[in-house]
Amino acid sequence: MPGTIKRGFTLIELLIVVAIIAILAAIAVPNFLEAQVRSKVSRAKADMRSLATALESYYVDNNAYPKGNSFNVSRRLSTDPQTSQYEVLERLSTPIAYMTSGTLPDPFKSLKRSGTINPSTGASTPANLTPAELEQEGSLKYAALVGQPSSNVLALVNNRADKASQFWILWSAGPTSIKPQVAGTGLLSSTATAVAVNAWIYDPTNGTVSNGGVFRVGGTGVSDPNPGAMFFREVSRSNK
């Protein structure tokens, strides 16, 4: 009609709409990211439960667990020498299929390593992995160990060492993508306290994106005063 005035949105109305959208996004995006982290943690734990079952079945048939490699990773790269030193959890799928594949991916790829861990507090100074080390990451970590009563650590068992007849560890880097050091100056120290160990066990009650790896341990068990006893006890408790 002639003389009719068409009105649009005012600047104030547009600003209000933009503010509402921003508030909704501020609520939704963090919740979405937290849901992603929770899903990855659940996946890592479920995969490690499956691997644990396969490892114990392997032990029944071989009276030993698969030996580890010096990288503490569970797969062999296409660029690695095709030797047994680099074959780790592939043994769970061939020649006997205890599971379809033992080289399950780590939902949280390591970008750093923890470095020396203070046995009292768990404090450390993480360092970036080198390009070569980053190339070795991507799968869940695995280590086979054997007790060394005269030493202050449990000895890692690789293909050039003793029979892996006692203990194993599986772990994921966790949401912070820092690979916790377990042997040597790491969490298997005989002087490690519960505080130090728990500082490196992922706990969602400290916040979804919190420090620490997702661990699972198995084997004949480690008890006081054996090296690594605190680590095995705290990880076993956290998995209940």
> Within a domain: residue 211?
yes
Evaluate whether residue 230 is within a structural domain. Answer: yes
Report CA-CA distances (Å) from 148 to 107, 109, 131, 157. 33, 31, 33, 11
Q: How distant, in Å, are the alpha carbons of 39, 100, 101 from that of 50?
A: 17, 10, 10
Confidence at residue 195, expressed as pLDDT on a 0 to 100 scale: 94
How far is C-alpha 140 from the chain's CA centre?
6
DSSP characters for 137-148? -SB-EEEEEE--
Q: State the distance between the two ends of the chain, measured CA to CA, in whole angstroms.
A: 75
Q: Which amino acid is present at 18?
A: V
Q: What are the structure tokens assigned to 15, written together?
A: 């600003």
- Which residue from 1, 123, 143 is spatially nearest to 71, judged by alpha carbons? 143
CA–CA gap between residue 130 and residue 176 (Å, rounded): 17
User: Residue 86 falls within a domain, yes or no?
Assistant: yes
Q: Cα(14)–Cα(28) distance, rounded to whole angstroms?
A: 21
- Asked whether residue 4 is domain-assigned, the answer is no
Nearest to 143 by CA among 66, 84, 83, 214: 66
- In tens digits, what is the pLDDT along the chain, a chain of 240 residues? 555 666 667 778 788 888 888 888 878 777 777 888 889 999 999 999 999 999 999 999 988 888 887 777 776 656 666 655 566 788 888 888 998 888 888 899 889 989 889 999 999 999 998 887 787 788 888 888 887 655 555 777 776 667 777 889 999 999 999 988 887 778 888 888 999 999 999 988 877 778 889 999 998 777 767 778 889 889 988 887
146 is a domain residue: yes
Does residue 5 lie within any of the structural domains?
no
| Residue 2: inside a domain | no
- Please state the domain count of the chain: 1
**What pLDDT is attached to residue 153?**
57
Structure tokens at 121: 């507090």
Tokens (6 digits) for 83:
């030797």
Domain range for residue 96? 11-238
Q: DSSP assignment, residue 215?
A: E
Task: Report the pLDDT value the prediction gives residue 75, as an integer from 0 to 100.
Answer: 65
Q: Is residue 1 part of a domain?
A: no
